[in-house]
Structure 1
Amino acid sequence: MKFNRSVLTAAAFAALAVGATTALAAPASAAPNTTPQKVCGSAYKTVNSAPVGSQGTVYLTYNASNGKNCVATIRNSPGTAVDISTWIQVPDTGDSADDYGQYTSYAGPAYVYGKGHCIDWGGSIKNVYVQVAGSNCAALKEQRVTTTR
């Protein structure tokens, strides 16, 4: 009987350890085949994008029903956590949002109200940074800059 309790206790601790490991595993950002709509929401349609070198893409999305823009920076190949960032700003209003950290697949979502405004946005993966200024401004030409540090 004592042996059985020991075995049960060991099994219970093993199950707890597996559960804790699963709970502490990579967050939802580790999901393969991530899309901007999975990050921002299904109502957000992609309106612009910019490559982050060969490592991934920053996506600008828009939800016509609420007038909000959302950005997400998504790696081409999820893997070990690396520095990933995404940011968005409405120069006219000063509203901005960002997300940055060590992620396995993507950074975001970051939302701002942008209906009727030009949008500045961008992101980074590891040491490659992308900035798009004056985006989605009708006839105005946007400015894109990609740098490696």
Structure 2
Amino acid sequence: MRLKHIIKTAGGLRAKRRIAAVGTAGVLACGAVIAVPGTAQAAASYNGACGAGYGVIDQMDLGADGRVFLTYSSATGKNCVVTMRNVVGPKEPMQAMISISGVPNSSVMDYGSYTSYAGPVYLYARGSCVDWSGFFRLERVRYNDHCG
């Protein structure tokens, strides 16, 4: 009863439209908040650490904490690996590694305590398969991968 009284005294039809629009917007806003899933952290995205001309060709999740990126430059024939944290924080052990599959002592690795990423590490591997890995609280490795 009170709402009807306010509508009648607030300018008739124009006020009704305003109230209806505000009510609809409120319902949509509430729906949008409910529909958006909550996440503690967004997944890391490639930061361009390998430099110009390198494009991401593969990636591996490190659980909920980070991601490892394998990039390649067709101009140089080099692969590059970077391990990224999802959230910048205090220094913690991290690692980025790449090697030519089946070739002893070909590994290039960056291991240390970092706040955001490990690497980049580069390896000329045109015409070869690579083993690549990353570590931040969890390790992921791929062997005999991306041959060419």
TM over 0.5: yes
Determine if the alignment matches structure 1 residue 80 to structure 2 residue 51: no
Following superposition, the deviation at residue 36 of structure 1 comes to: 3.7
User: What SS does structure 1 have at the residue aligned with 2:49?
Assistant: helix
Separation in 1 of the partners of 2:59 and 2:45?
12
Counterpart Cα distance in 1 of 2:97 and 2:63:
17
The answer for the alignment partner of 2:122 in structure 1 is 111
Structure 2 residue aligned with 1:101: 112
Conserved 8 A contact 2:101-2:143:
no
Give the superposed CA RMSD. 1.9
How far did 1:92 drift? 4.7
Q: 5+ residue gaps in structure 1?
A: 1-33, 139-149
1:18-60 Cα deviation digits (max 9, x unpaired): xxxxxxxxxxxxxxxx854521112100001100111110000
Q: Say which one has the larger Rg.
A: 2
Shift of 1:75: 0.4
Q: Which of 51, 62, 69 is matched with 1:52 structurally? A: 62
Greater per-residue strand proportion: 1
Deviation by residue 1:95-116 (Cα, 9 ceiling, x = unmatched) = 2211011100000010000111
Q: Secondary structure at the match of 1:115?
A: coil
**Identity rate, percent:** 37
TM-score with structure 2 setting the length: 0.65
**Cα separation, 2, equivalents of 1:93 and 1:41:** 26
**Structure 2 CA distance, aligned partners of 1:121 and 1:68?**
13
Q: 1:38 aligns with which of 13, 25, 48?
A: 48
Unpaired runs of at least 5, structure 2: 1-43
Give the conservation status (yes or no) of the 8 Å contact 1:61–1:69. Answer: yes
The AA in structure 2 aligned to 1:125 is F
Structure 1 residue 137: deviation in Å?
2.6
Q: CA distance change for structure 1 residues 35 and 54 in 2, over 3 Å: closer, same or farther?
A: closer
